[in-house]
Chains A and B, each alone.
Chain A
Amino acid sequence: MSLVITPWFGAVKIGDYIKRRGYEGAKKALSIKPEDVIEEVKKSNLRGRGGAGFPTGLKWSFVPRETDKPKYLCVNADEGEPGTFKDRYIIENAPHLIIEGAVIASWAVGIHRAYVYIRGEYLKFALILEKAIEEAYQRGFLGKNIFGKDFSLDIYIHRGAGAYVCGEETALIESLEGKRGNPRVRPPFPATNGLYDCPTVVNNVETIACLPYILREGGENFASLGVEKNGGTKLFAVSGHVKDPGVYELPMGSSLRELIYNYAGGVRGNRRLKAVIPGGSSSSILMADEIDVSLDYDSMIKAGTMLGSGAVIVLDETACMAEVLRVITRFYAHESCGQCTPCRQGTSWMAKIAERIAIGKGKKGDIDLLLDIAHSIMGKTICPLGDAAAMPVIAICDKFRSELEEQIRERRCPIERE
């Protein structure tokens, strides 16, 4: 089985990376026309790994080719979605995959300046990446006349400062400009009016890290690793009640059950599986008997949830759903930027209700109230954070209603723990 990213883990120094055929993909890209690079990426069926799964080649093709303005690449390393830590693994273990990928994307779109927006808490990992960038400059893989071509690219790291919403692409752009991370109203889209009102591509770290493979081995090869319309492999960050939490790379279309039991070692202490949050804390929860799903963007939507960032949080029978609800709602209330009334008020209202249920002060009717509020946020906000806050609440209230109602009635958590 061919893998796209993890085989390069451990090749942190540029020499080791080159020994593993590093920078061959970038060299190949620069030897063909930018349009042909975009074609190759379209053929690969690569979809954005940041959560939304938008086809990468198509996204790039929305950027105007001829323009008087400079164009920018923003590599999204904000990684704030609870449960997600796969981009950190790439930065830590194979930083040159990101740099090589950035060279490929920039050549394809006609970009000469890229920023890596990395969350402030990742200082340690930002330093690893910075070191790798320096190495790439020394070898002539960044800067002027890359591979002897009339092509230049500069990459800079931009550290965030603690705000989940800055992972949203337009908030990220605002934050890069030295402002609060308030998402922008779309349209216009970043492809035409992004950073400094210039055409901008925003791509996730993992998306960018797939590009060297695609250019080296070909788009069709990458596509064939996955399933229809979902090319390649995906990194999954598995955490929670499993024996072996960590990052695993599986072909798109693998089964969620296989990931949990064959890769992450199954449920710890041989306890019973209760539920799985399959794509970061904003994805809808799956019950134990719903995990025979295929891990690709389309199948997950069909299953009523989403692949999201690939953060799989496993809950065993000891998990208290009122507690889960409380933590999730508090998070979104804390992170709402406050621009839209339904999100600002709805998230803090939901957090208040979930809090009182969790501490044994819930009221009859609270579950319906939560559902009402969640539905009144859905689709009525500037950015998808509102939906991200509402979706998990709806799923948990629907699927675990009886447990939550018991908690409200009994004024305590109904879960028996040793």
Chain B
Amino acid sequence: MNDGRDPFLPGASSPIARLVEAFHRLPGIGPKSAQRLAYHILRTQEAEAQELADALIEVKRSIVFCQQCQNLTSRTPCEICTDASRDRHSICVVEEPLDVLAIERTNGFHGLYHVLHGVISPSDGVGPEDLKIGELLARLRDVETEVSEIIVATNPNLEGEATAMYLARLLRPLGIRVTRLARGLPAGADLEYADDVTLGRALEFRQEVQ
């Protein structure tokens, strides 16, 4: 440990500086919060720090993105993508993995999914290139694709609408029908928290994006 350097001295190789830097790279963590977290770790028991480190590695080793739908899964392609009973003509595009669970609960959709891992929101620094849109395009351009409809199930708020509109303009030239959940969902509501009946109806009465 003692290689003659003070661990508290700032510098790229100081362990604390490395930890602060690592926290700072996480989304939503500013320099102040990164420092606070680092000093918190410094004060905790070693066992607790070990537990955090193990959990980080574990999640990286066992959970992966499905190479097709980009959902989180322990094997790729995931269960849904490999389920032969599912309808391969439609893909439901959602913001987050939890939205897949919400739609599955409705029992109203039997096609495939695609998880964007976010929505377009310039003020949060998120543009189309930061989402899994390239992966969606690759799926649609695959010569074996049978997809004829994309249902955009992003949340009914400004950013969700921006994303739906972007996808519609991008996908229309490919000759694919792009639909959006019906207006049954209250504006500003999160898909994740919508009740099954409401969400099921929003799916059933989906409309083509103009």
Q: Are chains A and B native binding partners rather than an unrelated pairing?
A: no
Residues on A close to B: CB < 8 A?
A: none
Residues on B close to A: CB < 8 A?
A: none
